[in-house]
Amino acid sequence: MRATDGDARDAAGAGSADRAPDLTAPDGLLAEYAPMGAATLADAERWPSLRASDLARVAQARAHPAAPVWVHETGDRLDEADLRALGGGESATAGQTRRTGTQDDPPAWVADLVARAHAVVPRYRRAVRAGTSGPSTPLADLPRVTRADLVADLAAHVPVDVPLDRVLEGTSSGSTGAALRVPLHPRTVASDLLLLHGLVTAAGARWGADADRLGLLNLVDQRTAFTYVSAMSAFPRPAGTPVPLMARANLDPSAWRAPGDRERWLADVDPQVVSTSALPLLHLLELAAAGLDLHPVAVVNGATHVTPAVRAAVRATWDAPLVDLYGLRETGPVAAAPDDGGHVVVDRRVHVEVLDADGVPVPDGVRGEVVVTVDENPYLPLLRYRTGDHAALRRDARGTVLVGLEGRAPVRFADAGGRWRPSVDATQVLQAAGLLAWHLHQAADGTVRLVAVPGPAGAADEAARAVRDWLGRPVELEVRDRPERADGKPHRFTTDLDAATRRP
């Protein structure tokens, strides 16, 4: 893949003149990304089940001489009871399909979830009082839930009977503009790791605990990001084996202390599995083509669409499979594709419908919106959650398959200096400015237009100034009072420029 001029400068270690304005000062829009601004717990509290020797390995990894600037410290919070409950057994079966039920006849656990939701989830308890639905209402007769519903009143979807003393917070930028804070349980997060291990293993890779390598690298490429070192307490391994470590790192040059540190650190930790999305993966492939020596056993793509060409490039570069994992922060993993044959719905308490614009199920093979019912996170069971993504259903020997999944496409914008800027950078400043929703578009001549649904007074003007500073271009602003789409998921980012040529 040919690197653009801007990408080549990044690979060499950009100077301050190539960087966007600093918005991370304590009084800036992105103050939450100030290094260690939210770190409060001691390591023994973050990993209560780890031995002292493993905690020392975490500290040593943080102190690597070429390490990036760590912005955060975090841990999985798993205790011995959690590890016994998880058992590691999920990794032995993840990726196999024992799916039962169809759109017209959901699996048995769905009816149980409907009944429980009407007993303990405020939204559905209100529906019982209003007489609009009840514990025996068929799933197909329940209203769909949108992201806007969660943003407006998350508490209405959290069961009243679950203790909240172990809540972990996940954040999701999603597609409405307004950020969503998702309550997660430590076991839910750990079970996602076990699922990932099973999917990588099912794709033909061998992913075992290796104390000499980073077990998992979550990789982003953006101006600001939470970065940290962690330990994977639940990773399947023989008794007494050191716990594998993981890290979240940012490819952006501003995240590193000195030119060349990025390449030195990546080569030294040599991650076994890289979990990322399309644009950081393309950047990593470019670094590999420039001589970065990595040996991942597998790559996991999430959050954005991946093409067969990128899958082939991963195989050609590292002789490793690429697992395309589809899901949302709100729902957790939904389906996975180890090849180009469609996304198989994961073997969990996840039920998928494909509906038309009126909410009516479409026949198998017909495209529609993917709607998910899931009961994996005790803090956020969801009934008929609209993803805003589209696909057709097919059923084969693997189980339920999403075919032609049309998810979120990665978008880059060209700044006034000719450098690419990823859309996630804009997400951060537009959310921080207080916008509820937006549509940012770059025309073929490079001009920029922002359609904004503001929250507090002045939010739209502040957002327009932030985009202007980010791209170095004038911004045409249009203010609206509601999102463009009824499901609360507008197309947030579009461009008339080709991602490879910067031409229409």
d(CA 454, CA 463): 9
Alpha helices in 219-347 (DSSP H): 261-269, 278-289, 308-318
Angle between helices 459-471 and 423-433 (to 10 degrees): 150
Of 504, 498, 366, whose CA–CA distance to 2 is shortest? 498
Distance between CA atoms of residues 483 and 200, nearest Å: 38
Alpha helices of 63-155 — where are they, by DSSP H? 80-86, 90-93, 108-120, 122-130, 147-152
CB 364 within 8 A of CB 308: no
**Which letter does DSSP use for residue 348 in this model?**
S
Average pLDDT over residues 213-220: 96
Average pLDDT of span 291-319? 89
303-323 burial code (b ≥16 CB/10 A, e <16): bbbbeeebbebbeebbebbbb
Q: Is the pLDDT of residue 184 over 90?
A: yes
Write down the domain spans for the chain.
108-185+347-388, 412-495
Beta strands of 135-265 (E only): which ranges? 168-172, 180-184, 216-220, 228-231, 245-250
Average confidence (pLDDT) over 217-229: 89
Question: Given the structure tokens 């009243």, which residue do they identify?
Answer: 160
What is the structure's pLDDT at 138? 97
Question: How many whole angstroms separate alpha carbon 416 and alpha carbon 432?
Answer: 23
How many percent of the chain have pLDDT more than 90? 63
Of 62-66, 303-307, 484-488, the least confident? 484-488
What is the C-alpha end-to-end distance of the chain, expressed in Å? 20
From CA 231, how far away is CA 242, in angstroms rounded?
10
Q: What is the pLDDT of residues 363-420, one digit of tens each?
A: 999 989 999 999 999 999 999 999 988 889 999 999 999 998 866 556 789 999 988 8
pLDDT score at 35: 57
Mean pLDDT for all residues in the chain: 84
Task: Decide if 72 contacts 230 (C-beta within 8 A).
Answer: no
Question: 194 burial class (0-12, 13-18, 19+ CB within 10 angstroms)?
Answer: buried
Per-residue confidence band for 34, with pLDDT thresholds at 50, 70 and 90: low
Rounded-to-integer distance, Cα 243 and Cα 342, Å: 34
* Confidence (pLDDT) at 469: 92
| One CATH from 3.10.310.30, 3.30.9.10, 3.40.50.12780, 3.10.180.10 for 108-185+347-388 | 3.40.50.12780
Residue 331's pLDDT is: 95
Q: How large is the angle between the packed helices 278-289 and 5-12, nearest 10 degrees? A: 70
pTM: 0.75
Rounded mean pLDDT of 181-201? 95
State yes or no: pLDDT of 358 exceeds 50. yes
Least confident of 107-111, 290-294, 494-498: 494-498
Which neighbouring-strand residues pair with 181?
171
- Lowest mean per-residue pLDDT among 11-25, 206-220, 263-277, 420-434: 11-25
pLDDT at 32 over 80: no
Burial 385-409 (b: 16+ CB within 10 A, else e): bbbbbebbbbeeeebbbbbebebbe
Instruction: Quick: pLDDT tens for 120-168.
Output: 999 999 999 999 999 999 999 999 999 999 999 999 999 999 999 899 8
Q: Please compute the mean of the pLDDT values over residues 411-430 and round it to a whole number.
A: 83
Unique residue bearing structure tokens 């950078």:
425
Give mean pLDDT, residues 167-196: 81
Per the CB < 8 A criterion, the answer to whether 343 and 337 are in contact is yes
Average pLDDT over residues 462-478: 93
Residue with tokens 């199920």: 361
Under the banding of pLDDT at 50, 70 and 90, the label for residue 227 is: very high
Question: For residue 476, which phi and psi values (nearest 5 degrees)?
Answer: -85, 125
Quick one: pLDDT at residue 119?
A: 98
Q: How far apart are CA 406 and CA 369, in angstroms?
A: 9
Q: Is 488 left (phi over 0), alpha (psi -120 to 50) or beta?
A: left
Among 12-26, 129-143, 454-468, the range of highest mean pLDDT: 129-143
Residues 6+ apart with CB under 8 A from 52: none
The pLDDT assigned to 50 comes to: 94
Q: Where is mean pLDDT largest: 4-18, 21-35, 188-202?
A: 188-202
Q: How far is CA 226 from CA 8, 220, 248, 249, 302, in A?
A: 24, 10, 7, 8, 17
Location of structure tokens 């170095």 = 472
| Residue 199 confidence class, pLDDT cut points 50, 70, 90 | very high
Output the pLDDT for position 343.
Answer: 94
Neighbours of 103 (CB within 10 A): 19
Residue-wise pLDDT for 242-298, tens only, equals 999 999 999 999 999 999 999 999 999 999 999 998 778 989 999 999 999 999 999
**Fold exhibited by the domain 412-495:** GMP Synthetase; Chain A, domain 3 (3.30.300)
